[in-house]
Amino acid sequence: MTREIKKVGKYDYVYESSMSWDSDHRKRHKVSRYVGKVVNGDVDNPKRVRDIVAIRGIYEIGHLELAWSVMDDIMPALREE
């Protein structure tokens, strides 16, 4: 992979780029990945602002606990009828 420095506004950013073959269009295209921001001219060790974290699932149980607490009072009455 080749490292590139792109200037956006007044800041420099480091990207790793490579070429990939697109067999459908029968041509190559550039694939770039963000590495980090250049701080104090240090291109070899760019500062990474944040890492992308895969979210496997978001669980919200607050509304379910409310429903279960309300149903605790109602369930015995429903079972009798």
> Radius of gyration over alpha carbons of the chain, in Å?
27
Q: What is the pTM of this model?
A: 0.52
31 domain residue, yes or no:
yes
The residue with tokens 């890492």 is 51
25 domain residue, yes or no:
yes
Over residues 15-48, the pLDDT tens digits come to 989 999 989 999 999 998 888 888 887 777 777 7
Strand order across the beta sheet in which 2-8 lies = 2-8, 11-22, 27-39, 42-47
56 domain residue, yes or no:
yes
Structural domain that includes position 58: 2-39+52-80
Count of domains observed in the chain: 1
What are the start-end ranges of the H helices in 1-81?
A: 62-80
Over residues 68-79, the pLDDT tens digits come to 788 887 878 777
44 domain residue, yes or no:
no
46 domain residue, yes or no:
no
20 domain residue, yes or no:
yes
Average pLDDT, the chain: 80
